Amino acid sequence: MSEPSQKLSFVEKAGYSCGDAAANFVFMSMILFQANFYTDVFGLSAGLAGTLLLVSRLWDAFFDPIMGVLADRTQTRWGRFRPWVLWTSVPWAVVMVLAYTTPHFGGPLQIAYAFVTNILLMTLYSANNMPYSALGGVMTGDVQERAKLNSYRFVSVNAAQFIVGGFTVPLVAKFALGHDQQYGWSMTMGLWAILCLVLFLTTFLTTKERIEPISREKTPPRQDFADLLGNFPWKVMFCMTFTHFTILALRGGALYKYYMNYADKAALYDWLQWLGLTVPAGSTPPAGLLNWLGYIVLPDKSNVAGVAYSIVNMIGTGVTIIVILLSPSLAKRFGKKTVAVAGFGLASLGTLAFYFLSPTNIWGMIAVTVFVAVVYAPTISLVWAIYADVVDYSEWKTGRRATGMVFATICFALKLGLSLGAAAGLWILEWFYGYDAKAAATPENLQGFRALSSIYVAVLFAVCTILLTAYPLNKRLTIQISDELAQRRLKAGAPPA
């Protein structure tokens, strides 16, 4: 007999979504700013910073399955997964600030401090986010309610990304006035940490675990892994996921340097002046929210690149939020694979266009940003839906369903990609373009920023396109698999998946 229908209130769905919004204050800070923080603010060399990010994120990747085992075996009056959101909330907030605080001591102790705080932050991220993700599967047995729950979650994720991408750099500059960049980063991350704490507590207080596991014989993990090795769609998506998240980590750090160093400051100022966000020399910035948030360019123009970069981030994320709503209708008409192939292919061409823009062509940069956001946005949710199709394919072929193993290995590929992307960007700049974070940018460095944010990323987008083209589950086959699995369950008297 299937689980009874369990409708979730607006408060519970919105409360659940707060948890992933909080997680994205760390995730997007990591993607967009962390590499540059360690080189430009903390004072590490590019090579050392790359090694730091690689080690901490590799640890995070290997810790994920350990955390999954711990969460599955947790027994409390609050459930198995929900308590971890509570237990990690305060340590998360504290370590989040410490990881973006530059200590007064230097040398080996400073390097050790960076490694310890970053590894702690990544550990807490897994200890919080893995149980949080599982929580969504035990709040209700109603398939439609789960779909609605995840839609709330996705809206909150994008809202958090909009805030982090748009407000972090201006706030750092605002808090740094009269102090320094190190102080600005500590204060800004402190503000984000307080917000994370409130959001995590909201998730814990407004959600409830309702679905209990059914005791039944399970195949050993060794058999599940053997099934994966014979699953060609899984192999394709494992490689695609690794490449995809390498792009995200590489692109985030590269675009920061592109706008902060390559884009012409005078041209950026003219663009911001057109937007009405500049203050003439000798004038006092007007009072108001925009000024407090650091969105007014100061008379000395010291924050012009940071303000421009933040607004570009907001434009890209805003377009993504709007266009991503088209994903279900596009997938229904053309199929998930077709939409994903087209999206990644066009994103490759759009990203390559960055290389051909002159430093003064700000409107060209905005146009390319909007184009890439439009074509890439529909792929974001569809890729995650494709993972579920891979699970169906495995059950269709073997008669055994291994949802946990598929998603655990995909998350492993995701974390590996983030690890390599962050480290590779810094290594490439140091080894091939002579980048020294403590010295003024050279023409060779500028060429590196330009190439890294365009050619390198475009090539990786192209690799994703090729892999998705090789992915064998098209719209017709996916529907066939779904129908045949439904018939099997009906014959076996099992509840529908």
CA 303 – CA 168 distance, rounded (Å): 12
Question: Looking at residue 4, what is its pLDDT?
Answer: 46
Q: Amino acid identity of 55?
A: V
Q: Could you say which DSSP state residue 357 is in?
A: S
Q: Which fold has domain 221-497?
A: Growth Hormone; Chain: A; (1.20.1250)
Please tell me the pTM assigned to this model: 0.76
Is residue 314 over pLDDT 90? no
Q: How many CB atoms lie within 10 A of CB 482?
A: 14
Domain range annotation of the chain: 10-209, 221-497
Q: Exposure pattern of 276-288 as b/e (b: 16+ CB <10 Å)?
A: ebbbeeeeeeeee
Best-predicted range by mean pLDDT among 226-230, 375-379, 404-408?
A: 375-379
441 versus 468: the higher-pLDDT residue is 468
Question: Looking at residue 2, what is its pLDDT?
Answer: 40
Question: Looking at residue 5, what is its pLDDT?
Answer: 47
Q: Are 250 and 452 in contact (CB under 8 A)?
A: yes
Percent of the chain whose predicted confidence (pLDDT) is above 70:
89
* Helix 403-433 / helix 362-398 crossing angle, nearest 10 deg: 150
Contacts of 357 (CB under 8 A, 6+ apart): 364, 365, 368
Contacts of 358 (CB under 8 A, 6+ apart): 364
Q: Are 238 and 410 in contact (CB under 8 A)?
A: yes
Q: Amino acid identity of 210?
A: R
- Asked if the domains 10-209 and 221-497 are classified in one and the same CATH topology, the answer is yes
Q: Amino acid identity of 349?
A: L
pLDDT in tens, 48-60: 988 888 888 788 7
Question: Looking at residue 343, what is its pLDDT?
Answer: 95
pLDDT in tens, 328-361: 778 778 888 898 999 999 999 999 999 999 999 9
CA 169 – CA 181 distance, rounded (Å): 10
pLDDT in tens, 81-114: 899 999 999 999 999 999 999 998 878 999 999 9
Question: Does domain 10-209 match CATH 1.20.1250.20?
Answer: yes
Q: How many CB atoms lie within 10 A of CB 257?
A: 25
